[in-house]
């Protein structure tokens, strides 16, 4: 019996060693293996792109278990946690993954982007800025720099007002963080701001027809304005008209953009484009077939307020139809140029503004009519009263006569006007 038992044991050992068990692969086929890190990671990326976030989390986790030193799986799982739902638990898990990715590779820009995004979703913009600044320093990433430029942290008092008594910029109802704007809105603001800074008037005019569709501004509201922060500039875009007006006779787009840095040169552009005149619906004998007007101003800012030499240049071109006996329906080409200089102090006009005004007209017969005016415009209000400030908080001042402010470049003759002071 003992002999038989020994033979059985030997046979089993031989069978195991020789691979005689049923289903044992031939040695020429190589050893069997499980999924690789790359296979699991690629599958996680696929689940993530398909919106299957739960499976993506499980698959990225499997990849991490295979190789816990590989950074992309942590970033991928962090992205999946954020998209799976903005619960406290998911955001905490995503934060841990992004932090681990940065610990393993401090040059991974995507990890900084993800971590900053978590802080933004948690409302901690200051911490998000710190993360992005560190990421820019470590990676030099333009994407990080762009995101950093759209996050602004403001010092306010207990009631939500800044040092100038104005409602904090980021607490205004019309304020939207740049990162939360649509891609179309972000592109419009970047293009409009860049064109203003570069004095590119043609681009400003070309953007006019998209201003209403690109920005989340309710045209039915009384204050058609959007506030945001782009590239460390406080930005305000206001729409006056955008579309067909005056009984469907023509299309008019009138809007402006204000660009204020904390301590460098600031800019303001006022744009008006009128075109698409429909003669079949017109009832007026005098009308404009088109009008193109751009007014670009610049002034240094100190602590976000206009301070220093103000300079504005306005160029307007138009084609006017004149249905009078002496003109007999002639089309007059009109060019209006206006140059304004002066001083600003804490966003208020400081003393007189100098004005040069040119009026250049040309008729079909070649006849030209020119008008040139140069003068000085002084205030007729008490010293220290607020004129030409932007925002939504401040005193009102009544004045009359010829007046200029940084946000109002047209000459106003002989009528009273109320201007509110606005401090950003």
Give the domain-ending residue among 99, 116, 149. 149
The DSSP bridge partners found for residue 301 are 306
Residue with tokens 């607020």: 386
Give the domain-ending residue among 119, 149, 179. 149
Q: How many residues does the chain have?
A: 424
Q: 9's torsion region: left (phi>0), alpha (psi -120 to 50) or beta?
A: alpha
Question: Does one domain contain both 97 and 243?
Answer: no
Give the domain-ending residue among 149, 184, 208. 149
**Residues of the chain under the 50 pLDDT cut:** 1-30, 325, 379-422
Question: Does one domain contain both 227 and 351?
Answer: yes
Question: Does one domain contain both 135 and 191?
Answer: no
Determine how β-strand 353-362 pairs with β-strand 233-245: unpaired
Does 398 fall in a domain? yes
How far CA 320 is from CA of 39, 295, 329, in Å, comes to: 69, 20, 9
Helix H or strand E segment including 128:
helix 125-139
What does the DSSP 8-state code read for residue 391? S
Q: What is the mean pLDDT of the chain?
A: 77
Does 2 fall in a domain? no
Distance CA 103, CA 70 (A): 11
8 A C-beta contact, residue 389 and residue 398: no
Three-state secondary-structure class, residue 300: strand
Number of domains in the chain: 2
Written as one string, the DSSP assignment of 133-177 is HHHHHHH--HHHHHHHHT-------TTSB-TTSSBPGGGSTTB--
Question: Does one domain contain both 234 and 368?
Answer: yes
Q: Tell me, what's the pLDDT at 161?
A: 80
Determine how β-strand 330-345 pairs with β-strand 353-362: antiparallel
Q: What's the pLDDT tens digit per position in 404-422?
A: 333 333 333 222 222 323 4
Question: Does one domain contain both 251 and 396?
Answer: yes
Distance CA 124, CA 229 (A): 16
Does 3 fall in a domain? no
Question: Does one domain contain both 214 and 141?
Answer: no
Question: Does one domain contain both 198 and 264?
Answer: yes
φ, ψ at 416 (rounded to 5°): -75, 145
Question: Does one domain contain both 132 and 190?
Answer: no
Half-sphere exposure of 232 (CA within 13 A, CB side): 11
Question: Does one domain contain both 135 and 55?
Answer: yes
Distance CA 227, CA 243 (A): 22
Q: What's the pLDDT tens digit per position in 112-127?
A: 999 999 998 998 888 9
Three-state secondary-structure class, residue 123: coil
- Containing domain of residue 335, as a range? 169-420
Question: Does one domain contain both 117 and 193?
Answer: no
Does 288 fall in a domain? yes
What pTM was estimated for this model as a whole?
0.62
| 88: CATH | 1.25.40.10
Tokens of 15: 């069978």
Does 27 fall in a domain? no
């Amino acid at each position: 019996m003992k002999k038989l038992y020994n033979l059985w044991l030997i046979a089993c050992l031989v069978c195991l060693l020789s691979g005689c068990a049923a289903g044992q692969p031939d040695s020429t086929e190589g050893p069997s293996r499980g999924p690789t890190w790359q296979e699991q990671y690629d599958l996680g990326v696929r689940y993530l792109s398909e919106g299957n976030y739960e499976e993506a989390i499980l698959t990225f986790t499997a990849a991490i278990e295979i190789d816990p030193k590989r950074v992309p799986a942590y970033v991928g799982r962090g992205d999946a946690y954020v998209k799976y739902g903005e619960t406290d638990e998911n955001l905490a898990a995503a934060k841990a993954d992004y932090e681990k990715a940065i610990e393993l590779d401090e040059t991974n820009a995507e990890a900084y982007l993800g971590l900053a995004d978590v802080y933004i979703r948690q409302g901690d913009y200051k911490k998000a800025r710190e993360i992005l600044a560190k990421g820019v320093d470590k990676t030099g990433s333009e994407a990080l720099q762009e995101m950093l430029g759209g996050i602004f942290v403001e010092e306010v008092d207990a009631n939500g007002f800044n040092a100038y008594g104005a409602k904090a910029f980021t607490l205004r109802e019309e304020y939207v963080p740049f990162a939360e704007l649509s891609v179309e809105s972000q592109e419009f603001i970047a293009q409009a701001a860049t064109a203003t800074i570069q004095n590119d008037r043609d681009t400003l005019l070309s953007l006019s027809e998209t201003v209403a569709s690109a920005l989340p501004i309710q045209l039915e509201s009384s204050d058609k304005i959007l506030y945001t922060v782009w590239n460390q500039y406080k930005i305000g875009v206001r729409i006056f008209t955008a579309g067909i007006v005056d009984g469907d006779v023509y299309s008019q787009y009138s809007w402006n953009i204000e660009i204020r840095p904390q301590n460098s040169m600031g800019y303001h552009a006022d744009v008006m484009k009128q075109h698409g005149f429909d003669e079949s619906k017109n009832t007026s004998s005098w009308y404009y077939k088109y009008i193109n007007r751009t007014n670009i101003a610049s002034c240094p800012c100190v602590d976000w307020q206009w301070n220093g030499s103000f300079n504005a240049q306005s160029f307007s071109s138009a084609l006017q139809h004149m249905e009078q006996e002496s003109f007999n329906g002639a089309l007059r080409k009109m060019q209006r140029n206006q140059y304004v200089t002066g001083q600003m102090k804490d966003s208020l006009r400081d003393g007189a503004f100098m004005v040069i005004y040119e009026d250049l007209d040309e008729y079909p017969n070649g006849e030209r009519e020119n008008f040139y005016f140069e003068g000085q415009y002084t205030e007729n209000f008490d010293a220290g009263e607020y004129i030409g400030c932007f925002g939504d908080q401040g005193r009102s001042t009544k004045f009359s006569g010829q007046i200029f402010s940084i946000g109002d470049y047209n000459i106003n003759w002989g009528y009273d006007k109320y201007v509110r002071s606005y401090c950003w």
